[in-house]
Amino acid sequence: MKLMPIAGLLLGLSAPSLAHEYKAGALLVDHPIIRVASPVSKTGAGFMTITNKGKAVDRLLSVSTAASNRSDLHGTLNEGGVMKMRAEAGGVPIPAGGRVSFAPGGLHVMFIGLKAAVQPGQMIKARLMFEKAGPVDVAFKAETAASAQHDHH
């Protein structure tokens, strides 16, 4: 009988980590992931959704991590049928009452010069810097492109 309250407490403590979302003021950063082609890749692409429930625009200025030499905010554009990446100079605006998705084929965080092999399921700590909300510490959950396709089928 005495085990039930302890089990309930342990279940309650694990629930926030399962949600994989982070809040800072009016901003909600949902499900940040990093995809790598293989565990030995030196680059990875970061994806997430950022929702702004506030009444003022904010801006994601940068992403930093000790896991890579550099972390750039990139957009993807189609020029004459050729997909190209470009740096998002000045950051990425998060509109008031809006949502911005960082997803394959669009906005993403480019982790350049990964310092160690990244295994599926590994959590990569990073800091998002917003113009108004300030710093937000998150963890990007690592997955390979193959595991991502498998998970969605």
For 11-53, the pLDDT digits (tens) are: 443 334 445 899 999 999 999 999 998 888 899 999 999 999 9
Burial of 63 (0-12, 13-18, 19+ CB in 10 A): buried
Give residue-wise pLDDT tens across range 58-108: 999 999 999 999 999 998 877 888 878 888 888 999 999 999 999 998 999
What does CATH list as the number for 23-144? 2.60.40.1890
Query: pLDDT per residue over 113-150, tens digit each?
Result: 999 999 999 999 999 999 999 999 999 999 876 655 54
**pLDDT for position 6:** 41
d(CA 51, CA 30) in angstroms, rounded, equals: 8
- Predicted confidence at residue 97, as pLDDT, reads 97
Contact at 8 Å (CB) between 79 and 40? no
pLDDT surpasses 70 at 151: no
Banded pLDDT at 9 (limits 50, 70, 90): very low
Query: How far apart are alpha carbons 75 and 83 in whole angstroms?
Result: 10
Q: What are the angstrom distances between the C-alpha of 145 and each of 45, 46, 83, 151?
A: 10, 12, 18, 10
SS (H, E, C) the chain: CCHHHHHHHHHHHHHHHHHCEEEECCEEEEEEEEEECCCCCCEEEEEEEEEECCCCCEEEEEEECCCEEEEEEEEEEEECCEEEEEECCCCEEECCCCEEEECCCCCEEEEEEECCCCCCCCEEEEEEEECCCEEEEEEEEEEEHHHHHHHCC
pLDDT at 143: 86
Residue with more model confidence, 22 or 5: 22
